[in-house]
Structure 1
């Protein structure tokens, strides 16, 4: 059998996890960033006895992500670019997550363009719920756009491969077989790119959500149930975008990262989280934008109860408030799923849901309240005109002079070309019919100076040159001195 089989091809790595303590061991010293690996290696290609083996010490530099009190396990050694790398596993104690007894929670809402919207809420001693801050959003528009481009490219390659396969029809000598092989390799590369992109996006989004919980001091993350994001009944493009999202991977990574800090991740039902007001549970009116309250849309939510509540805000920002409030009020009904070991809240109780409202942190002034809060600002009786307040810059001395404020540039040193021409008194508009001489053409007279930008009005004569104006005779009334 060994002679019939080909030589085995394995990666250039050494798995030390299968070794016992007599062959390898790892321990830490006084420096928490260093570890010492000791293992027995043969001194000859064909070791025959214990004398052909020797102990080798390998110092390992530990990254700062490994805790100081973590228990190290035997690594896997591999060669990369001429260096020996160690894939090290470790174990450290973390706080145990609990199902109840939470006072600060992070609510996370799923979105389409905005992938995650999250914010923290606090349960006070008297049972009142308040929001801690205005929340944050995890936007991955660039990554999602690239993901959709790769999806469309993958679908296009699939269609071409299927078409070539029908043309070949089990004919190995067909000239299209080479193209079919090239397209198959290209499809494999695109699939790997999509997989790597999804993994990177999942880790990034999960790390962001856990960091938000750590910064807010939350002990639980209430996550919207993934089954509420089913891709159905929303149109072809929306259904495809929903089905291609990596929500399952993000939830798994979030549970993994949150368990390291003792934060529980609980899924809650998503019923009416975006439909009702987080402060009074009134059915919201969804509009396109805050400055377009009459345009139908879904992004901006407005509470119709203007007198009692009057809340308005982003639809996703109101959803995380509802999720956090629902989780804190229903935390006594949290159970552990037997299939996956995940914490879930299966149903919503109407009695507890009535208490799941966010109380505003401070008194909010109504839009109808026009009471004064300070002295009236003094206004001048002569308001400044609507133009540039700064004075016009000083222009260069020359024929251009200085222009007042306005949109035209003030740095022009030369006048238009037509202004340098000699303009006589005949540069006027079209004469009236009663002044037109007989036999003259009826075509309209076009003054060349005005057409070229000299600046004369159509109904005004040009001023005569100064040398054509006769000077007054001042010597006519003076007699002879003799």
Structure 2
């Protein structure tokens, strides 16, 4: 490239050629056609905006057998799942679907929105007080508020941009993983929340659904996947298995959370999250109406504009078989072995050997099993329990000091529940060097 050698170049001699090597990222295909780059300064570094063009497979309007249905929500931003169209006309779902939850990002978005609204209201008040007078005392504060409003708006724009790319990439990755050739999305123009209240309308407008759909089309085109919008009528209201009206309830796992997230079908008995049923309805409707897919001449987007009752009747999900099959042959090949009504108790094969002589009061060996490969869990537990020291010498039982040291639990017969007299575990004892230890049994050779 040719760059000036002085701030005010006047002739051709004030320009010189400079070579800047550019390392292409791995996301650029090897056969891509590079276009003229654009240089820009960013925090003292030179950035290159490089556009490229490469060939991608053409997305088909019809002939799809595996589709991905995407449903929009308020609490759950995206819910999607794959559906398969069989040769006999049945539509099944190979999986339970997935959800893209962005509650934290949406909460931050709402906080920035409320902050921007408060700053805008204060700025409007300052503009009324100043009345356009540049010499007013509040003019400087008004300028500071305007700068802060621009900064908050820039943060919201960056957050929406990152959220749109993340959600679109997630949806396209789901389609590629499921082997889908088309993504069916609800038509955004018919999802305007009219008459639902100011809060609901604001939430619907803040979910950046339009940006997500545009990014989804861009990423899906590179993979050869078509993105088709379908009418969203009754997708969350009717059952995906029998098209009967659903009854909405609170979710059984979170009954204290407000909202009607759980759907129950009074006809076939299907129940589940309403968003899960919605993406099944969207995918089935798209596969059944794929012959009605039209391409917009202006934008080139694919859309299904109308719903045909005859095709809608077949847009149902066929439930998978619930019975479990076994791969192993379980047929009877001989007589049944008699089993005792009461299992025989476990008995040790050999008596526990006597341990080394030790001080008086040592706990005996007990019933140590010789056929166990490892010690029981209770034997490995730390047994450094609290013990009660005996009364000091020279005190009679009636003294106050003697009563303070009396093992009350042992006297009342409570045993280990209140106080315990226990010796340290066996592995803490110092054994003779010629004494082997195996399986918790001490033997002398």
Q: Deviations over 1:161-180 (max 9, x none)?
A: 12222222333333222222
Specify the alignment match of 2:109 in structure 1: 147
From the superposition, tell whether residues 231 and 185 of structure 1 become closer, same or farther in structure 2 (CA, over 3 Å). same
- The alpha-carbon deviation at position 290 of structure 1 amounts to 3.1
- Verify: 1:107 aligned to 2:69, yes or no: yes
* Aligned mates of 1:77, 1:154 — CA distance in 2: 33
Specify the alignment match of 2:276 in structure 1: 317
Specify the alignment match of 2:53 in structure 1: 91
- The alpha-carbon deviation at position 338 of structure 1 amounts to 3.8
Pairing 1:426-441 to 2, within 5 Å after superposition: none
* Aligned mates of 2:15, 2:132 — CA distance in 1: 57
- Verify: 1:65 aligned to 2:8, yes or no: no
Specify which of 327, 330, 336 is matched with residue 295 of structure 2. 336
- Verify: 1:159 aligned to 2:159, yes or no: no
Specify the alignment match of 1:172 in structure 2: 134
Alignment root-mean-square deviation, CA: 4.0
Pairing 1:383-398 to 2, within 5 Å after superposition: 391=378, 395-396=383-384
- The alpha-carbon deviation at position 56 of structure 1 amounts to 5.4
Specify the alignment match of 1:232 in structure 2: 194
- The alpha-carbon deviation at position 102 of structure 1 amounts to 1.0
- Verify: 1:75 aligned to 2:75, yes or no: no
- Verify: 1:200 aligned to 2:162, yes or no: yes
- The alpha-carbon deviation at position 422 of structure 1 amounts to 8.7
* Aligned mates of 1:219, 1:162 — CA distance in 2: 51
From the superposition, tell whether residues 67 and 394 of structure 1 become closer, same or farther in structure 2 (CA, over 3 Å). closer
- The alpha-carbon deviation at position 217 of structure 1 amounts to 1.3
* Aligned mates of 1:456, 1:126 — CA distance in 2: 79
Pairing 1:329-368 to 2, within 5 Å after superposition: 329-364=288-323
Q: Give the count of matched residue pairs.
A: 365
- The alpha-carbon deviation at position 197 of structure 1 amounts to 0.7
- The alpha-carbon deviation at position 333 of structure 1 amounts to 0.6
Runs of 5+ consecutive residues of structure 2 not aligned to the other structure? 325-331, 344-375, 390-394, 412-445
Pairing 1:29-44 to 2, within 5 Å after superposition: 39=1
Specify the alignment match of 2:247 in structure 1: 285
Pairing 1:373-452 to 2, within 5 Å after superposition: 391=378, 395-396=383-384, 411-413=385-387
- The alpha-carbon deviation at position 89 of structure 1 amounts to 1.0
* Aligned mates of 1:59, 1:456 — CA distance in 2: 86
From the superposition, tell whether residues 296 and 77 of structure 1 become closer, same or farther in structure 2 (CA, over 3 Å). closer
Q: State whether residues 285 and 302 of structure 1, in contact with CA within 8 Å, keep that contact through their aligned partners in structure 2.
A: yes
Q: State whether residues 286 and 297 of structure 1, in contact with CA within 8 Å, keep that contact through their aligned partners in structure 2.
A: no
* Aligned mates of 2:15, 2:150 — CA distance in 1: 45
Specify which of 171, 181, 185 is matched with residue 209 of structure 1. 171
* Aligned mates of 1:296, 1:80 — CA distance in 2: 46
* Aligned mates of 1:90, 1:48 — CA distance in 2: 31
- Verify: 1:276 aligned to 2:238, yes or no: yes
Specify which of 285, 293, 299 is matched with residue 326 of structure 1. 285
Q: State whether residues 287 and 296 of structure 1, in contact with CA within 8 Å, keep that contact through their aligned partners in structure 2.
A: no
* Aligned mates of 2:68, 2:382 — CA distance in 1: 61
* Aligned mates of 2:340, 2:265 — CA distance in 1: 37
- The alpha-carbon deviation at position 65 of structure 1 amounts to 0.7
**Structure of higher CA gyration radius:** 1
Q: State whether residues 76 and 86 of structure 1, in contact with CA within 8 Å, keep that contact through their aligned partners in structure 2.
A: yes
Q: Deviations over 1:388-444 (max 9, x none)?
A: x97596754xxxxxxxxxxxxxx44469xxxxx998599xxxxxxxxxxxxxxxxxx
**Range that drifts further, 84-93 or 187-196:** 84-93
Specify the alignment match of 1:266 in structure 2: 228
Q: Per residue, is there more strand in 1 or in 2?
A: 1
Specify the alignment match of 1:470 in structure 2: none
- The alpha-carbon deviation at position 154 of structure 1 amounts to 0.8
Specify the alignment match of 1:469 in structure 2: none
Specify the alignment match of 1:478 in structure 2: none
- Verify: 1:134 aligned to 2:96, yes or no: yes
- The alpha-carbon deviation at position 140 of structure 1 amounts to 0.4
From the superposition, tell whether residues 423 and 274 of structure 1 become closer, same or farther in structure 2 (CA, over 3 Å). farther
TM-score by length of 1: 0.66
Q: State whether residues 190 and 232 of structure 2, in contact with CA within 8 Å, keep that contact through their aligned partners in structure 1.
A: yes
* Aligned mates of 2:93, 2:227 — CA distance in 1: 19
Q: State whether residues 77 and 207 of structure 2, in contact with CA within 8 Å, keep that contact through their aligned partners in structure 1.
A: no
* Aligned mates of 2:23, 2:55 — CA distance in 1: 22
